[in-house]
Structure 1
Amino acid sequence: MSSFFDETDYENEDLNEFEVMVYRANAIQLAINILKIREIITVQPITPTPNRHHFVEGVIQVREETIPVIDVGKVLDLPAQNNDQTKMMIVEINELTMALLIEDVDQIVRVNWSNVHNADEIAAGSEAQATGTFMLEDKSIFLLDYEKMIMDIVSESSLSQHEAYRYVNEREQKVVVAIEDSKTMLVVLRTQLTAAGYTNVHYFDDGRKAFEALQQLNHCDLIVTDLEMPGLTGHQLTKYIRDDQTHKAVPIVLFSAIESENVVERNDEVGVSTQVTKPNYEQLIRVMDSYVTLNV
């Protein structure tokens, strides 16, 4: 995925830091990793589409590309404000391109994920819409669960076209640690791996919790980790594991939608074995099989 922020992002040496764009929607301050942003444009004419999800306002045309427009305020079930929505943030998440309809952007800030805490709820909805929250100038800034947003709009089947895996009994014997901070995507990951036969999997939604639990395991065949996570990023987690005498040789698969040149270079630096792009579960299972030496 390309981003027009690529040259300025992720140049720092701290493996646990990312740069995020802080923006406003319905007077709420939110944040998104700038690696997910393709560009920011002024509001374009929106063409309504029939039978659309209630989060979706319609579509816009950007350089001959048709892009759905998502109203972030509706995602959060927030009442409309008097503020005009002046910007559209074109983002690429899980191989899908969307335009987020927002009020405005505020600033780019560097965030250390050790200071990002799990967030169970924002707004009045009963389901969590944020993966984490951090403090900025005495204000809480929320990192939305953008993958959940996608799952709410499109069906799980359209995210993964190959849902029917052949169950392989040999996979049951493999000890796997899997980390995914989006609770929605964690459920999907568990469903996909279980369907394939990977039933001996320890699941976590926090990188630090996963590393602490790994210290209690005498044996682990494989680690599958997201990149952005509260506590520890996938890269920082990888570095800790590579410095750990017990598990330093365990294959680590980075399962992330972010695959910029900087991230790929950092994969090599810290010792990530390979990266699979979300949400390609068929490829993930194929790669897992190759690292745990299954011939299926």
Structure 2
Amino acid sequence: MGNGFKRLYQDRHPFMFIGPAVLILLVFSIVPIFVAFFISFTDLDLKGLANWSNINYIGLENYKELFTDEVFHKSIYNTLFYAIIGVPLVIVCSLGIALLLNYGSNLLFRFFRGVYYMPSITNIIAVAVIWGYLYNTEYGLFNYILSLLEADKIPWLEEPTIAKLSLIVLAVWKGIGINMIIFLAALQGIPQSYYEAAKIDGANRFQMLFQITIPLLRYATFFVTITTLIGWLQFFEEPFVMTQGGPLNGTISMALFIYQEGFQFSEFGYAAAGSFILFVFIIVVTLVQFKIRKSDTEY
């Protein structure tokens, strides 16, 4: 026993470095998950927060009500709509831009790297204000350009399906930067000897792209796919700022539904139940991604 403690003391430095991060994760992530899970089986509201004696255990009633809630059903549909369209767009656009920027390293290419990365670090409120003007039906830039082409005005944020697509365009534009950096780092890690050998064998650029570059980006593509999909399943900021879930709940996402139920209607137990359904969705989708991933190719 004494030797175990002595060995632990001698190897204490790694634990000292990871300890604060683990503590923060435990206090602000792990513990709240269990608290929210318990709350989801209660009728916690503002009265319950003021006096815990007003909190009642109601079992699975919150979950049963969610499965009959049409607004929640619509939020699931909208979230899947966002993810199915948005995730591939982000991946393709990020990879395409990274491939273009990887061809050079001079000042011009570094400038465009900053240009494409800047939206991802720009405050969402500022972005929403600017895009709100762009999407304005009467005075927006997009409809002004359409008027020059003698085309009809488009209700960018006033018709449910068009509003969802408009938010996807905004989110894709904002989400390209980080994934572009990941792809760029992966591209620059590919040994040039592979391309030199391919050139000697007479391969053209398209053959090198599809036979060398893209296969060697498997790890980066898998990572980007997982993180992007999780992010889009938690799609919140854009509909919250731009449309508040409207029109007619046409842009409400699961995350926005949970926020509204919890912080606008003060139905904390109901919102906690919704958050756990979203949590299960994310876990299932992530596990499926790991399951269907093909075996790695060795080079």
TM range (shorter): under 0.3
TM-score by length of 2: 0.23
Q: Larger Cα Rg: Structure 1 or Structure 2?
A: 2
Bigger relative contact order, structure 1 or 2, given CA contacts below 8 A and separation 6+?
A: 2
The structure richer in strand per residue is 1
The structure richer in helix per residue is 2
TM-score by length of 1: 0.23
